[in-house]
């Protein structure tokens, strides 16, 4: 896909790479990727379908990923609130007062937070392959890895095979591209899920692109620390979300099993839950058309502006 209108945006001293597609007068869709992931992991095919559907699409690299700034987390720790502020800086950088937010995984949590803190800027919310704001994922993972049962009313932890794959998903420094791919490909096989046909070449090409764009591929691990820092919001606060909300989720998501999607939809008034058969915790080409159709339908039609 031809790239156009790339920018480096200053977000309070953090430089963020961002990229825009589509006609300037079309409604803006801001794509927010998950932890450790780059903006280009929003597949070109999905972006192309959204643009063809009449959307102005913006994707960007979170801090500590891709072509955006690296942060000394020990000296300058940040939280999900800071990542949400980065998203607003990206919108400001493109002169977009309002946007349809589409967030995957951690990006979904960031989008939920924005729907609460700046509702006048959020036209619609799509939380994809994510979980409810305020979920203690780090605690659930620690308990699962220690062999402890979930707490009462706790959402299910990631699948055991995913926890095992995550433990070996980053190679030793200096191993080069092939060493990096050797470590990463087993992770994508698990994240993809067991139902849909698995195209290893598709994931390999994506990881080659990610590796090429990052000077420190491990910096994104700081997102885990940011997500574990806690938040002033809880899942109960999602009852105050006023943006029309779509919860998109795979039936075979090993990171956030389907009860996470059900809990998100239950917490947000009027939210619509759409489960994608066979999809795991990735966005392969096989599901691009379904995802694009869901997002285009959700973001269509007149939306009344909201003010504080």
Residues 11, 202: Cα–Cα separation, whole Å: 33
CATH code for the domain of 170: 3.40.50.1820
pLDDT at 1 over 50: no
- Decide if 107 is inside a domain: yes
- Collapsing DSSP to helix, strand or coil, 103 comes out as strand
200 within domain boundaries: yes
Q: Report yes or no on 203 lying in a domain.
A: yes
User: Does residue 185 fall inside a structural domain?
Assistant: yes
Four-CA torsion 131, 108, 164, 36, nearest 10 degrees: -160
What are the tens digits of pLDDT across the range 61-106?
A: 999 999 999 999 999 999 999 999 999 999 999 999 999 999 999 9
Q: Which of 179-183, 219-223, 251-255 is least confident?
A: 219-223
Catalytic residues: 105, 253, 281
Question: Is the residue at 148 inside a domain?
Answer: yes
Please report whether residue 130 resides in a domain: yes
Residue 144 lies in a domain: yes
With a cut of 90, say whether residue 137 has pLDDT above it: no
What ranges in the chain are assigned the alpha helix state H? 44-52, 80-93, 106-117, 137-145, 160-167, 176-192, 200-213, 222-227, 259-267, 288-298
For the chain, how many structural domains are there in total? 1
List the domain range (segments joined by +) for residue 47: 6-298
Q: What percent of the chain has pLDDT over 70?
A: 95
pLDDT of residue 3 exceeding 60, the answer is: no
Q: Are 268 and 237 in contact (CB under 8 A)?
A: no
Mean per-residue pLDDT over the chain, rounded: 92
- Helical residues (DSSP H) of 214-287, grouped into ranges: 222-227, 259-267
> Measured at the alpha carbon of residue 186, what is the angle toward residues 184 and 191, in degrees to the nearest 5?
95
Question: Domain for residue 304, yes or no?
Answer: no
């Amino acid at each position: 896909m031809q790239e156009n209108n790339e920018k480096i945006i200053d977000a309070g001293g953090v430089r963020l790479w961002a990229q825009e597609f589509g006609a300037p007068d079309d409604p803006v869709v801001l794509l927010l990727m998950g932890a450790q992931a780059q903006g280009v992991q929003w597949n070109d095919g999905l972006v192309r379908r959204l643009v063809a559907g009449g959307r102005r699409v913006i994707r960007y690299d979170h801090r500590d990923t891709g072509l955006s700034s690296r942060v000394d987390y020990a000296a300058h720790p940040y939280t999900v609130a800071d990542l949400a502020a980065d998203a607003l800086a990206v919108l400001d950088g493109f002169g977009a007062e309002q946007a349809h937010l589409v967030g995957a995984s951690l990006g979904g949590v960031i989008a939920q937070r924005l729907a609460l803190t700046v509702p006048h800027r959020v036209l619609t919310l799509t939380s994809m392959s994510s979980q409810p704001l305020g979920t203690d994922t780090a605690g659930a993972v620690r308990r699962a890895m220690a062999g402890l049962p979930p707490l009462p009313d706790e959402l299910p932890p990631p699948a055991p095979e995913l926890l095992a794959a995550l433990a070996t998903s980053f190679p030793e420094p200096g191993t080069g591209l092939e060493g990096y791919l050797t470590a990463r490909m087993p992770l994508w096989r698990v994240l993809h899920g067991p139902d849909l046909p698995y195209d290893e070449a598709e994931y390999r090409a994506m990881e080659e692109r990610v590796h090429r764009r990052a000077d420190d591929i491990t910096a994104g691990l700081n997102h885990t620390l940011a997500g574990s820092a806690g938040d002033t919001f809880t899942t109960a606060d999602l009852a105050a979300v006023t943006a029309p909300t779509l919860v998109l989720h795979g039936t075979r998501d090993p990171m956030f099993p389907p009860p996470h999607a059900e809990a998100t939809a239950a917490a947000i008034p009027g939210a619509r839950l759409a489960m994608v058969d066979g999809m795991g915790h990735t966005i392969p080409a096989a599901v691009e058309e379904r995802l694009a159709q869901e997002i285009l339908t959700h973001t269509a039609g007149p939306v009344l502006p909201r003010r504080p």
